[in-house]
Structure 1
Amino acid sequence: MTTASDAERIARAFADPAALERLRRRHREEARADLSRVHPTWLARALLEESPAVRATVATRGPEGLARLLRGDGPPPRPDRPPHPEVLEWVMALWTERLVGGSDRDDDPPVIVGLTRTTPIEAFRLWRAVGRIKSALAGAGGPSPEVRDLAGRDVKAARDAGATGRRGVALLGLATAFRLLAECEPFAARRALQRIPYPIVRQARSIAPPTARIAPAVTRLEARILREAWDRLRSEGRIAIPHPPGGRP
């Protein structure tokens, strides 16, 4: 589905050859995922609906470590003859079609930057710091009843989802990420989520399920929480990159 922002880019592209080339490049990038930036659990998920023969073929010729993940469904079948070269080429070219590609952009929103340009340990620190702020807001630290109620609902949802301990606080922080991602371009949001293990994404979605519309005040609050957590970690030297400038989520 073409979004409003997509339509605006297309309109500008037809009036500007350079913009048209940038649009073409973005579409090419989105159609071909960089597997080095996709968590292996998403690769395994991309093969769930494929035939046993396709899964076995990709397991033996695809990214390292994928075969181990796929063994949870049982050992792959052994083919009785080598695959046809043309069919093999098609399989290896198309099995990632459920994944989203793309590249970093100067105008990426902070939530996209926080998910895609941090190391795994930095990302865990960031979303755990966000979760700690959210937990504080749910208590006496909330500046208003509305903020306390919002934070309290997230804390309760995290507990109901079985999210406890340090990992649970990080999952609570990802609820903020999900709300901010709802304001981003769908392809960019999907590309960012592919950096996180798919089971964690599913659990985080149970805390902050997607909604058709999010109140602007909620988006602004979540953006402030993310920035506060980010700035704290940056001042402590626990995250390498600064919070991106600008007011977008």
Structure 2
Amino acid sequence: MTTDTMNPGDNPDHASAAAGLAFAAAVQAWGPPGEAPGRAVGEPGAADEWLRRMHRDEATVDFDWIHPTWLLRALQDESPAVRAVVAAHGPSVVRRALLASGGVPTPDRAPHPEVLDWISALWTERLVGGAAERADDPPAIVALARPSPLEGYRLWWTVGLVKSLLARGPDDAAAERAGWVFDRLGPPPPETRDWARRDLETVAKARVSGRRRTALLGLVTLARLLADCEPFRVRWALQHLPYPIVKRVRTLMPSAPKRAAAVSRLESLILRTAWDHLILENRIATPFPLAPERIDDEH
């Protein structure tokens, strides 16, 4: 792909962050740096509008979409007076979250208008906004942001189930009820089974049991896939999960030197296998996201 054929929705390596996408849109509208503007293939006005819309989305917080635990976290270091003002004058979902967490004092007087403006503008600084859907969102982001909480739990539990079956192999008694996994993936080679077993051992140390352990195993897959996504978009999408769960996911995310392309491909295949199975069972409505179409250099 060349910059001449780049669309703002495309996500090449150098445009994986908002700044890179902005640069791509600028190149499309005004031409590559150091060259005459005549090479531009887009409309500057359209590029301006796209960038403004992206900035507006990222600066606008959707309180109804964010999990209430994130709202409480945003206010945890504020004074009782500030929390009372936000509860009285902020979004209703914030008031409900504060009341559910133990209540807030009722202000004995109306806040000064300027103080109210400052509080309203600053208390959300720990929260991030974003477009509800972006054409270049990878499957891990879509899996976090678009399914309902129940569908999300089903998805990560099923991902964990797939990985646990890979660790046990097709001859395990538990695998008889999940032949669809090996029909799709085939029998795992020894190195794959060993890799999946190591994840099982990691999750076992968390001291959770039953379905929660299986779902946590699925979140290990999520953590690895998120490590390859745009950081700002990751932070936005994680707000859809309860904050205590997000803290656990972050501890599982590998650092850059520890990432392996082969592992990412395998985790992606596990996610796709689980997702497709839930689609067939009508247990998730969100379709698996297909990669955006690319325009190759030769075209």
Q: Give the TM-score band, short-chain normalised.
A: 0.7 to 0.9
CA distance in 2 between counterparts of 1:4 and 1:106 reads: 17
The 5-angstrom pairing of residues 73-88 of structure 1 reads 76-88=104-116
CA distance in 2 between counterparts of 1:74 and 1:8 reads: 43
Tell me, yes or no, if structure 1 residue 211 matches structure 2 residue 240: no
CA distance in 1 between counterparts of 2:139 and 2:103 reads: 42
Tell me, yes or no, if structure 1 residue 177 matches structure 2 residue 189: no
The 5-angstrom pairing of residues 24-173 of structure 1 reads 24-64=52-92, 66-67=94-95, 69-70=97-98, 76-103=104-131, 104-141=133-170, 143-173=188-218
With normalisation by structure 1, the TM-score equals 0.88
CA distance in 1 between counterparts of 2:285 and 2:158 reads: 15
**Alignment RMSD:** 2.4
Partner of 2:228, secondary structure, is coil
* % same residue: 55
Deviations 1:167-195 (A, max 9, x none): 22112111111111111111211111111
| Offset of residue 162 of structure 1 | 1.9
Divergent runs of 4+, >3 A = 63-81
- The letter of the residue matching 1:134 is K
Partner of 1:196, secondary structure, is coil
Alignment partner, residue 177 of structure 2: none
Distance 1:37 1:71, change over 3 A: closer
CA distance in 2 between counterparts of 1:102 and 1:168 reads: 31
Picking from 24, 27, 50, the partner of 1:12 is 24
Deviations 1:50-91 (A, max 9, x none): 222212211233333544544687653454532111110221
- The letter of the residue matching 2:166 is L
Alignment partner, residue 193 of structure 1: 238
Q: Is the 8 A contact 2:85 2:107 kept in 1?
A: no
| Offset of residue 4 of structure 1 | 4.0
**Structure 1 alignment gaps of length 5 or more:** none
- The letter of the residue matching 1:154 is D
CA distance in 1 between counterparts of 2:240 and 2:102 reads: 26
CA distance in 1 between counterparts of 2:110 and 2:254 reads: 45
**Structure 2 alignment gaps of length 5 or more:** 1-12, 30-43, 171-186, 294-299
Distance 1:247 1:12, change over 3 A: closer
Partner of 1:36, secondary structure, is coil
Q: Is the 8 A contact 2:60 2:129 kept in 1?
A: yes
Distance 1:10 1:205, change over 3 A: closer
Alignment partner, residue 285 of structure 2: 240
Q: Which region of structure 1 is more displaced relative to structure 2, 228-237 or 23-32?
A: 23-32
Q: Which has the higher Rg, Structure 1 or Structure 2?
A: 2
| Offset of residue 93 of structure 1 | 2.4
